[in-house]
Amino acid sequence: MNHSKIFPSIKSFRQKTLDPFIDPELIFSQVGQKTYSALLCGKGNRDNARYAYIGINPFLKVKHNGTKATVNFHNRDTIIACDPFQLLGEALNFYPLKTYPRPLSLWGAIGYLSYDAAHFIENLPKTTLDDLNMPIMEMVYYQDLLIFDYQQKIVFLAQVDIGDGFNDPDDFQALFKKRTGALGNYAVESPKSCCREEEYVSLIKKIIDYIKKGDVYEVNLSHRFEAQYHGDPYGIFFNLFQINPAPFSAFLNFGDSIIISNSPERFLKADGDQVETRPIKGTICRGKTKEEDRKNRLLLAGSEKEDAELSMIVDLLRNDLGKVCDYGSVRVREHKRIEGFSNVWHLISIVEGRLKKDESYGSLIRACFPGGSITGCPKIRSMEIIDELEKYARNLYTGMIFIGNDHHFDSSIVIRTIIAKTNRLYFNAGGAVVYDSIPKREYEETLEKVQSIMKVLL
């Protein structure tokens, strides 16, 4: 069933330039307290962190709670029963932007899709405890979207008229004159894991037993941390971004849940029919000295274990893309790129393909979701084992955060991410387990991955 009639039409679009260029995390400090404001930003290589976005003044909100969807336009709700992937695809495709010049053509919806949306793709067990009760999917369209071009050092204001005129661009220019807002303080109790070290090690040993029996080759296992906090959650994001400006960072003030993401990993990107995914597999901590840091980098590059982890997931993602891409177009453009972050080195590969003419971004997402790098190989059996061994439902963790429209889409894997909800913080740490994993070392690696988060919270 096509639900596109429930989406409001847009009368017209326009684009303005704002100046001077100021980093988006500074500008967002003035508007981030507004419910359903959104920030996507990050730094890194030129090919994965060129643009940042700030969404202000939402006019359309789409939410799926696992049983039904709510489409809210100007505070009026329409309730429908539908598949979240179908609804996501319809919403992305509803507003045609491909005829507009860049960066106006980058205007689109900002939102997230929960890991648990996988239950709409496969018949998976569901025995984990879901105590957060987050929506399966939320996405928001904005009347005003600030687009920051890091390369050209230009800020654009993309605006839409939904029938009552455009908002005054001078109101947004005033943000740049003020430059930054006041950052609130926060206090956090020491985060506690739901799983002690010995418990986590025993779970890893169970996975290795499954591997020995031939059930799987690799499983991504995680454990959840929780802490009470008071104060300004944007202060947490800002401080985290200062010490680790990860390329797929995000702050989504989505009402009941506030999302603070410091993700290094792209999930899916699409420009027209050209698509790519960038799985991360392989991690080692940064050294305390230049010599130790160089040594660790070389150890990661030469590790047969880490290479095997990455290669397995690359093959899995080639297969996923092959479901919706032209035959012969799927290829590995780059294998085992090493990227450095404040606390770890990572191995990254780039897999690309050309989307078939009869496929859409909705079907692309369905074919690849959730990302193989955070499930395992083979994917379905790995997800069954994840449900068996992890205590809590993952909710947003290892889902995706995205911005997209009918011809451009970009998204991240939700890792290194905090959920702030009712004065409590929740975040997960995990890693891939393979045949020759050393259980204690795998546990230590999970702590290395959230080192930046711990540094900011404690």
- In SS3 terms, the chain reads as CCCHHHCCCCCEEEEEEECCCCCHHHHHCCCCCCCCCEEEECCCCCCCCCEEEEEEEEEEEEEECCCCEEEEECCEEEEECCCHHHHHHHHHHHCCCCCCCCCHHHCCEEEEECHHHHHHCCCCCCCCECCCCCCCEEEEEEEEEEEEECCCCEEEEEEEECCCCCCCHHHHHHHHHHCCCCCCCEEECCCEECCCHHHHHHHHHHHHHHHHHCCCCEEEEEEEEEEEEEECHHHHHHHHHHHCCCCEEEEEEECCEEEEEEECCEEEEEECCEEEECCEEEEEECCCCHHHHHHHHHHHHHCHHHHHHHHHHHHHHHHHHHCCECCCCCEEEEEEEEEECCCEEEEEEEEEEEECCCCCHHHHHHHHCCCHHHCEECHHHHHHHHHHHCCECCCCCCCEEEEECCCEEEEEECCCEEEEECCEEEEEEEEEECCCCCHHHHHHHHHHHCHHHHHHHC
- For 246-260, b/e burial (b = at least 16 CB within 10 A) is bbbbbbbbbeebbbb
Q: What is the Cα–Cα distance from 105 to 406, expressed in whole angstroms?
A: 10
Question: Which residues are annotated as catalytic?
Answer: 265, 281
Q: How far is CA 260 from CA 35, 38, 226, 243, in A?
A: 14, 10, 14, 14
Half-sphere exposure of 171 (CA within 13 A, CB side): 8
